[in-house]
Amino acid sequence: MSRSDILSRLNQATPSQAQGQTDSQTPLPASFTIPYSQQPKAFSTAWEVLGGTWELHENATAARLAFLLYLREQNIRFIIAWSTSNLPLEGLGEMLQGADIQLVSPNRRDIDPDIVVGLTSASAALAATGSLVLVPEPGQSWLPSLLPIRHIILLPTSRLYPDLNGWRQAWVNEDKIDDIARSLIITGPSSSNDIELHSHRGIFGPRSMHILLIQDD
Amino acid sequence: MLADNHTRLALQRLSHTVSRSSAQAWAGVQDQEAVRSRVGWARQRVLDQLPMYLERLENATEANGVQVQWADSAQNANRIIIEILQSLDVKEALRNHAPLLDEIALDKAAEANGIDLTRLHPGDRILELTNSQISHPVWPAAHLRIEDISEAAREQWSMPTTVDPDILASAIRVRLRRRLIGSRTAILGLNFAVAETGSMVCLDNDGHNPSLIALARNAILLLSVEQVVADSEDLHLLVEAYARSAWGRPLPAYVTQLCSPSPQKIDGPRQIHLILVDNRRSRILDRGYGEALRCIHCGACHNVCPVYQQIGSQGYDDSPYSGPIGAVINPILLRPGLAEHQPFLSTNCLACGPACPVDIDLPALLQQHRQELASKIASSRERSAIRLWRYLLRRPTLFVNAFRRAGRRRVIMPRRK
């Protein structure tokens, strides 16, 4: 009963002469698009403004070694992570196993509060705003990017897009409208300003974010 | 009706801080006026054909496996929610920060039906802790002093007194995360829903929305009917406009989109219910105030309103909608007669109009209310007196002579005793 009541009231309140008045779309001004070659630099600049740290590596081998070094320097032994088949570094699982660093699959029943690091990649990243796009798939849980205090991202530069508009248009052209519609877009660490406008990081999401950009094109 | 000194200062500081960062965020936009106009168009085109877009949304979400229901009133919305919770045999649930959930008084309905409902947003949690009312749509606890929060934490959590906001925030984090990990059912008010794809959208900076959605096994989502958006392009424009105006950022920290129940091995709820809520919005449209339904609840009008900064949210009859937009919609949204005075909570400074990112002409809508009310309540004698006054004001010579005569006859200035 509510449905037909509501639609009937709305139909009466929306006279037919109002329809069509907004048919002519107000055009948007053409926006500056970051050229592809400048996107890694633009992304890292935006990322720094958000408070994140980053490294850029010429290839997967350099990235793998740098990642291992980073984990050792930070004394990280356990990581909640995407499945290794979804991470863009081949041989990562074996390398970490050899270094006695354990990758833990996210499972809310087993979430250990002492695991402070989450490891993911991203389906896309937006250079203008330093944003990451995560699409939920098997082995690509959102939880490693939300629950631990520290979030580490492995990102091939081929997944960079200039901005929100550029990313959406590219994925529409690739027939990925459904993925656009169910994605999580992350722009910076978790922050809240609820206590006298003081900025506090990590109330729910991570407090810090570190990204390894991997040149792959 | 004036708020206490501290609240006034806190709201003024908030307004100054957010206005400045919002102005900086918009300054980075090429041709701001064109973008605002386009965003306003995106909202208006849906309002002009709202039934069509709602049916489109219903079809898209049902095709995605979402169970859709409609609620014409706050009471029916709560009834549907309680029925769903009871069918799931759920006694506790988490909710997000959403004015719609406050509008329908969900917390009271949950309590009356024995449901333990926890607010997960940190600001809302602080309001609960201190037994306070919301003061701003985006910064709900902005009016509270850290001393008051600390005192409440000391009483309820046995915490040592502190004025370190990080210590207090960490204490809140520990308690909220414990509830988050242990819970299975989430009730969320949506910011938007996309008719083209059936995508349901929440925005925040602290991460409580994606955490809720990723961990929930059952989700009940509520959308007020005017918050439907045509397509993803319009959605992204609105998300950017909201982030700039509400938080002074190019994008929110988290834009969470949910389309369908999740299969095994993928995050997200296995069962999703969507409730489309009218609760007098059709009346707002019918009364000629439909432009106000473009509102995306970013709080931009609050941040420039001199009246709101003096009276806070307590001047708006316990409505979750305060400030200039509240003064426009509350006379129709709330029970008849309760909020008719609210359009007069304005100095006509006209600051709210240009501040609105979706081009709502708030000053004009406030004036429209005032004219309607004035014509309703003025007696024939009052109307005659106002007509005479208007006549004299347009004729300065006559006006001065009339005043001199009235003064000689002591009509307007009686002799002192």
Q: What is the CATH number of the domain that holds A105?
A: 3.40.50.10420
H-helix segments, A147-192: 164-173, 177-181
Residue A26: the pLDDT is 61
- Res. B35: pLDDT tops 80: yes
- pLDDT confidence of residue B141: 92
Mean pLDDT (whole number) for B212-220:
95
Single pTM value for the model: 0.92
Q: Residue A22 in 3-state DSSP?
A: coil
Residue span of the structural domain in which A181 resides: 51-190+200-214
- How many other CB atoms sit within 10 Å of the CB of residue B250? 23
ipTM of the complex model: 0.94
Query: Residue B415: is its pLDDT beyond 60?
Result: no
Q: Say how many domains are in chain A.
A: 1
A208 belongs to a structural domain: yes
More confident residue, B307 or A105: B307
Q: Name B15's Cβ contacts closer than 8 Å, sequence gap at least 6.
A: B302, B303, B304, B305, B309
User: Does residue A90 fall inside a structural domain?
Assistant: yes
pLDDT for residue B353: 94
More confident residue, B105 or B405: B105
Q: What is the pLDDT of residue B18?
A: 93
Which of B199, B206, B257 comes nearest A190 by C-beta?
Answer: B206
Could you tell me if residue A1 is inside a domain?
no
Long-range pairs, B172-179, Cβ under 8 A, ≥24: B172/A203, B172/B122, B172/B125, B172/B126, B173/A202, B173/A203, B173/A204, B173/B122, B175/B125, B176/A203, B176/A204, B176/B118, B176/B120, B176/B122, B176/B125, B176/B208, B177/A113, B177/A204, B179/B94, B179/B118, B179/B120
The string of DSSP letters for A26-83 reads PPPPPPPPPPGGGHHHHHHHHHHHTT-EEEEESSHHHHHHHHHHHHHHTT--EEEE--
Domain assignment present for A15: no
Which among A21, A141, A197 has CB closest to B17?
A197
Q: Cβ of A29 and B31 within 8 Å? A: yes
pLDDT digits (tens, 9 = 90+) for B55-67: 999 999 999 999 9
pLDDT above 70: percentage of residues in chain B: 97
A115 in a domain, yes or no? yes
Among residues B212, B190, B211, the alpha carbon closest in space to that of B201 is found at B190
A74 domain residue, yes or no: yes
Q: Where are the beta strands (DSSP E) in A147-197?
A: 150-156, 160-161, 184-186, 191-195
In a domain, residue A99? The reply is yes
Whether the per-residue pLDDT at B357 is higher than 70: the answer is yes
Average pLDDT, chain B: 92
Structure tokens at B66: 């979402």
**Beta partners for residue A160, in sequence order:** A125
Give residue A21's identity as a one-letter amino acid code: Q
Q: Which domains does chain B have, with CATH numbers?
A: 32-120+184-279 (3.40.50.10420), 283-377 (1.10.1060.10), 380-417 (no CATH)
Cβ of B197 within 8 Å of Cβ of A177? The answer is yes
In a domain, A29, yes or no: no
Give per-residue pLDDT as tens, B269-278. Answer: 999 999 999 9
Stretch B82-87: mean pLDDT = 97
Of A2, A32, A108, the CB nearest to B76: A2
Cα B105 to Cα B77, B171, B244, B319, B320: the distances in Å are: 10, 27, 29, 10, 10
CA-to-CA separations, B302 to B12, B126, B352, B370, in angstroms, rounded: 10, 21, 8, 20
Alpha carbon of B412: minimum distance to chain A alpha carbons (Å): 48
| pLDDT by 10s per residue, chain A, length 217 | 689 999 999 999 986 545 545 555 666 665 668 888 899 999 999 999 999 999 999 999 999 999 999 999 989 998 999 999 999 998 898 999 999 998 888 865 556 666 789 999 999 999 999 999 999 999 999 999 998 999 999 999 999 999 999 999 999 999 999 999 999 999 999 999 999 999 999 988 899 999 999 998 7
pLDDT value at B389 more than 90: no
User: Rounded to whole angstroms, how far apart are CA atoms B234 and B238?
Assistant: 6
Inspect the interface and report whether the beta carbons of A19 and B48 lie closer than 8 Å: yes
CB contact under 8 A, B210 and A205: yes
Residues B169-195: tens digit of each pLDDT: 999 988 988 888 888 999 999 999 999
